[in-house]
Chain A
């Protein structure tokens, strides 16, 4: 994407799909709410019981449906409610990174982060940082309607 194709950063809000596990990162998003940690309204959270449930196909689908970025989140390593689901996520994520790169998407569009249920501020900061990063590179080239 060329630099002049970037939309006005102020008006355009990226759309981010965040996969969150029920026990940690979804709880982190809840804690962000309880602590009133303000964040851009860019993320749409999809709850799964464990980050290990996140199938790469879900991530690709999210991009195909127009997501400007996808976040894969779960419990900190060692804290998984299902013993080792996040270890499996970590392995899958390496594969995901490669495929997303092959698709021609920038690395700023895919993230892996471990967020515990108590880390509300971290969750809010994460959403803010990703939104800023994505605003810099503009809408996803896979966006059905193209660049705004």
Chain B
């Protein structure tokens, strides 16, 4: 066994897997074929459904990966083969010649400027030119140049040599050769992603016309760092388009070109791109031509509704068969209007082809060379109960290499794959790693010397706030000795710029005006540490979430507000003092709440990683909602899956199961929680370092809907499951989708109901081919590879009829009447059993558990994760994780992936030798303390205590009670400082001086900044 892992593919999946493994104590090699890590996500402008700037959330991860002491980045390298066995693999890697020495190159860009050869830029999806020697994008990691040998004039013709001449550090080496190396690792994670579908195969869509572009090209047009700086213009003539149309499912759901699967993400990215385009130009007329709109994820349906309601984006439920190029080169599409049955034509200035996700070439080559099985679509084959395990033991898979999926599902799978690899190698944890090192802190001069860095965030800030104006203003503020603007403050080159500014100007306070400290503070704090500054001398001024994004139409006022936000940050930071964390021990045990398939998987993964787990289940038996299912969509029996998991749990001596148990109290924090579990009338106290919430969801009981409750022939899909396992006598079955979902009362899509309905329809037809099965739907949402179920159902003769949300089906005595949208007429369906496909709703215990752990719920009562894209299984509260349907409805394979992911994230804590305490703790000035004990009363953590102290004043000594605060127990809330009647307590980093200066600066200029005492002593 080796304590190292090779992660193949440096997109967001590979990055997440590598970070988890490295944080879990394993030496990790991250192998990326392109010159930089970042994958497709680095090309995206924004991400659905929050329209978060993609680069802004990805860039901190790129920087962290590049900096991590236990990640060795092998970029511009291809994996040739993987041999060996679990615990001892040999990975052959071809390190392609870059012709630039990575160790020497500083990424200054001189060579790129002087290179005379222009070639199509892949990063901008071929819509602009780059040079033959290039850095692919501003935030690239590693930030080094690469020569594209096929296009380099020197390498092809032996002339030029400009780059070598201008390189100041002699990094260019034309003699470099490809090199093959062999890595010896314990496990491999495949994260080879996808390649965008090439639409030129479908000649009917006229991709040869310049104004017919792919969705990825539009993404680049919308991006501030793209070829048009975020302005959508027609590639043919640069004019602003008035009408654009998206054609969905290009290269997806198309058996004719052997792409039977749904690509999962196109409906939502088209919606997102349409919204962004509308934000740029509200006059733009946008139509999305689709088959079904698959808005199945958390908050997707709400996003889709907003696109229509607030942005006026039109959705036409008809996919045009072709794009027509007119005599004058104009574009139009023909489609069928199902309301009238007419064939209509619509002229368009631009056509966007929403291209699907094809398996990447490297997935196939690696699978073939290494004997890893592929599925019928060319994805790496897995099973629904083991969604990250490949056919080769010890090799795991995550992300789109396993099947089309969006970013949060990809990130969750990445952590899941990391969990499996870490469990396999848990005996070798920590054997090959080294600690992160920072330079010594430099001594602070008494005068504050503040540097201000104002971020454009592409156009997220810069298009609203006048960034250069804010920089000029910052330079006029007291103590500001340096100010500059940055395109993306979070990119790696910006970290270098900040570090250079710190050392070059001897800065001792740093203010970055960009986005929220809730996501970006740690990144900039680390940059400060690398420059020898204490991280608590840093302040973020949030001019994006709190300014440019919420004052998009008031540019001048937004600029004024940005200036005052910067002013307040500068004023406050002048009083910052260096603060230090303390190391304290932690409890290397976990608690998992909820014993469904998610909770069982999480508990097993944590135990297999080597840590003790208590699994708390409220019912008598483990299994959760899966107990009510009788067959999975691949034909497996859920009871067998449950009994297999239960047996593994029983056999694992690290897991304690508490049945019929309820968590009733939780105290403490990350690393040191104290829980009380009530079971059989007895209270048990348990200590744990991390917790996973896996409390699942429950079926909606749709009382009153379609006669449910009063008409015995109306049942739910969950009831049909049971009937199917026994004996189904009905011969005419009609299923009604979206019962109790996608309506004003419950806006979200149930995600699993279409897959469940189609699966059960197939079961009925297979058992009795004479049965008549109708599925009445609004959109069929069999996303990803489950699309094949939809196809099978149709082949078996299941009839699918689309209805409109405003004309729901009517359930009568022995029939269901529905208005068929496609035929535009009412149909009466003879029916003996009506099956309602109802959504999962949030668990009834959620609102108790969320208060125990102080974690939030969303508006539907499901748990709210820390970030919808990149932190799908974490809470903002450290040490608490979530998985499965507790977060939102999920298919079993997704719940399992999330459960392993939560386990992996929990293990990044459990694997530590110590945790660091809060540095921003409160301290007592004993001279001012009157020993009243107010602080003792208000503190919820028992951090302050009154102790006898000897006070000497004016030659008199006496003993008195004085408050002392235990820094290991203090969490830094500052309540004691607010309550202290004598002003003896300072809440460090949020002291009266620091907050007071910010208040003073909110309206006027900073009146005076000097680090002398300037406190108004007021006793309240």
Do A and B interact? Answer: yes
* Residue B834 CB within 8 A of the other chain: no
CA distance A118 to B877 in the complex (A): 14
Option from B552, B564, B977, B1004 in Cβ contact (under 8 Å) with A55? B977
Option from B856, B990, B1000 in Cβ contact (under 8 Å) with A53? B990
| Count of chain A residues with a beta carbon within 8 Å of a chain B beta carbon | 53
> Which residues of B (609-667) have their CB < 8 Å from a CB of A?
none
> Which residues of A (55-80) have their CB < 8 Å from a CB of B?
55-58, 61-62, 65-67, 75, 78-80
Which residue of chain A lies nearest to B544 when distances are taken between CB atoms in the complex? A33
Contacts of A29 in B (CB 8 A): 545-546
Contacts of B565 in A (CB 8 A): 44-45
Contacts of A134 in B (CB 8 A): none
Which residue of chain B lies nearest to A76 when distances are taken between CB atoms in the complex? B856
Contacts A55-B992, A61-B996 hold; do A47 and B517 have CB atoms under 8 A apart?
yes
Contacts of B920 in A (CB 8 A): 49
Contact B549 A34 (CB under 8 A): yes
> Which residues of B (558-606) have their CB < 8 Å from a CB of A?
558, 560-561, 564-565, 568
Contacts of A54 in B (CB 8 A): 978
Contact A65 B1004 (CB under 8 A): yes
Binary contact track A25-41/B, C-beta < 8 Å → 1, others 0: 01101101111111101
Contacts A32-B550, A38-B551, A48-B990 hold; do A84 and B1002 have CB atoms under 8 A apart?
no
Shortest Cβ distance from residue B581 to the other chain A in the assembled complex, whole angstroms? 15
Shortest Cβ distance from residue B965 to the other chain A in the assembled complex, whole angstroms? 14
> Which residues of A (77-113) have their CB < 8 Å from a CB of B?
78-85, 88, 92
Contact B1003 A46 (CB under 8 A): no
Binary contact track B846-864/A, C-beta < 8 Å → 1, others 0: 0000110010111100001
Contact B1003 A66 (CB under 8 A): yes
Binary contact track A2-32/B, C-beta < 8 Å → 1, others 0: 0000000000010101000011101101101
* Residue B557 CB within 8 A of the other chain: yes
Contact A88 B561 (CB under 8 A): no
* Residue B52 CB within 8 A of the other chain: yes
Contact B1002 A48 (CB under 8 A): no
Contact B557 A41 (CB under 8 A): yes
Contacts of B545 in A (CB 8 A): 29-30, 32-34
> Which residues of B (963-1009) have their CB < 8 Å from a CB of A?
971-975, 977-979, 987, 990, 992, 995-996, 998-1000, 1002-1004
> Which residues of B (819-856) have their CB < 8 Å from a CB of A?
850-851, 854, 856
* Residue B1018 CB within 8 A of the other chain: yes
Shortest Cβ distance from residue A123 to the other chain B in the assembled complex, whole angstroms? 9
CA distance A78 to B853 in the complex (A): 10
CA distance A54 to B665 in the complex (A): 28
Contacts A52-B975, A55-B1020 hold; do A33 and B1003 have CB atoms under 8 A apart?
no
CA distance A23 to B50 in the complex (A): 19
CA distance A78 to B847 in the complex (A): 10
* Residue A50 CB within 8 A of the other chain: yes
Binary contact track B796-819/A, C-beta < 8 Å → 1, others 0: 000000000000000000000000
Contacts A41-B557, A49-B973 hold; do A33 and B546 have CB atoms under 8 A apart?
yes
* Residue A124 CB within 8 A of the other chain: yes
Option from B51, B549, B850, B975 in Cβ contact (under 8 Å) with A50? B975
Contact A52 B973 (CB under 8 A): yes
Contacts of A80 in B (CB 8 A): 854
CA distance A52 to B934 in the complex (A): 14
Which residue of chain B lies nearest to A55 when distances are taken between CB atoms in the complex? B978
* Residue A117 CB within 8 A of the other chain: yes
Contacts of A50 in B (CB 8 A): 973-975
Option from B551, B971, B978 in Cβ contact (under 8 Å) with A39? B551
Which residue of chain A lies nearest to B549 when distances are taken between CB atoms in the complex? A33
Contacts of B877 in A (CB 8 A): 23, 81
Contacts of B859 in A (CB 8 A): 118
Binary contact track B197-217/A, C-beta < 8 Å → 1, others 0: 000000000000000000000
* Residue B938 CB within 8 A of the other chain: yes
Which residue of chain A lies nearest to B918 when distances are taken between CB atoms in the complex? A49
Contact A27 B557 (CB under 8 A): no
Contact B550 A33 (CB under 8 A): yes
Shortest Cβ distance from residue B298 to the other chain A in the assembled complex, whole angstroms? 12
Contact A30 B516 (CB under 8 A): yes
CA distance A56 to B220 in the complex (A): 50
Contact A67 B1002 (CB under 8 A): yes
CA distance A32 to B619 in the complex (A): 39
Contacts of A26 in B (CB 8 A): 516, 518
Contacts A38-B551, A118-B864 hold; do A22 and B975 have CB atoms under 8 A apart?
no
Option from B517, B1002, B1020 in Cβ contact (under 8 Å) with A62? B1002
Which residue of chain B lies nearest to A53 when distances are taken between CB atoms in the complex? B974
CA distance A92 to B979 in the complex (A): 9
Contact A27 B876 (CB under 8 A): yes
Contact A92 B51 (CB under 8 A): no
Which residue of chain B lies nearest to A36 when distances are taken between CB atoms in the complex? B549
Contacts A29-B545, A81-B854 hold; do A53 and B518 have CB atoms under 8 A apart?
no
Option from B549, B551, B971, B1020 in Cβ contact (under 8 Å) with A56? B1020
Contact B552 A46 (CB under 8 A): no
Contacts of B973 in A (CB 8 A): 49-50, 52-53, 81-82, 85
Contacts of A33 in B (CB 8 A): 516, 544-546, 549-550
Contacts of A24 in B (CB 8 A): 856
CA distance A30 to B52 in the complex (A): 11
Contacts of B992 in A (CB 8 A): 55, 57-58
Which residue of chain B lies nearest to A66 when distances are taken between CB atoms in the complex? B1003
Name, among A32, A36, A41, the residue most crowded by chain B CB atoms within 10 Å (CB to CB): A41
Shortest Cβ distance from residue A101 to the other chain B in the assembled complex, whole angstroms? 16
* Residue B554 CB within 8 A of the other chain: yes
* Residue B547 CB within 8 A of the other chain: yes
Contact B940 A83 (CB under 8 A): yes
Contacts of A79 in B (CB 8 A): 850-851, 854, 856
Contact B550 A44 (CB under 8 A): no
Contact A67 B50 (CB under 8 A): no
Shortest Cβ distance from residue B71 to the other chain A in the assembled complex, whole angstroms? 29
Option from B51, B551, B858 in Cβ contact (under 8 Å) with A118? B858
Contact B557 A46 (CB under 8 A): no
CA distance A69 to B558 in the complex (A): 19
Contact A117 B546 (CB under 8 A): no
CA distance A138 to B433 in the complex (A): 63
CA distance A33 to B877 in the complex (A): 21
CA distance A85 to B977 in the complex (A): 12
Shortest Cβ distance from residue B149 to the other chain A in the assembled complex, whole angstroms? 43
Contacts of B550 in A (CB 8 A): 32-33, 36-39, 41, 124
Contact A34 B50 (CB under 8 A): yes
Shortest Cβ distance from residue B713 to the other chain A in the assembled complex, whole angstroms? 40
Shortest Cβ distance from residue B1005 to the other chain A in the assembled complex, whole angstroms? 12
Shortest Cβ distance from residue B864 to the other chain A in the assembled complex, whole angstroms? 5
Shortest Cβ distance from residue A20 to the other chain B in the assembled complex, whole angstroms? 9
Contact A53 B975 (CB under 8 A): yes
Contacts of A56 in B (CB 8 A): 1020
Contacts of A41 in B (CB 8 A): 547, 550-551, 554, 557-558, 560-561
Contact A88 B560 (CB under 8 A): no
Name, among B518, B850, B858, the residue most crowded by chain A CB atoms within 10 Å (CB to CB): B518
Shortest Cβ distance from residue A103 to the other chain B in the assembled complex, whole angstroms? 14
Shortest Cβ distance from residue B860 to the other chain A in the assembled complex, whole angstroms? 10
Contacts of B517 in A (CB 8 A): 47
Contact A49 B974 (CB under 8 A): yes
Contacts A65-B1004, A85-B973, A117-B876 hold; do A46 and B999 have CB atoms under 8 A apart?
yes
Q: Could you pull out 17 A-B pairs where Cβ atoms are within 8 angstroms?
A: A26-B516, A30-B542, A33-B545, A34-B545, A35-B50, A36-B279, A37-B550, A39-B550, A49-B987, A53-B975, A53-B977, A58-B996, A58-B999, A67-B1002, A80-B854, A84-B940, A118-B856
CB-CB nearest 5 A-B residue pairs = A33-B545, A53-B974, A52-B975, A83-B940, A82-B973
* New A-B pairs, 14, CB < 8 Å, besides A50-B973, A62-B1002: A29-B546, A30-B542, A34-B51, A36-B549, A39-B550, A44-B1002, A46-B995, A48-B990, A52-B973, A52-B974, A52-B978, A55-B978, A58-B996, A118-B857
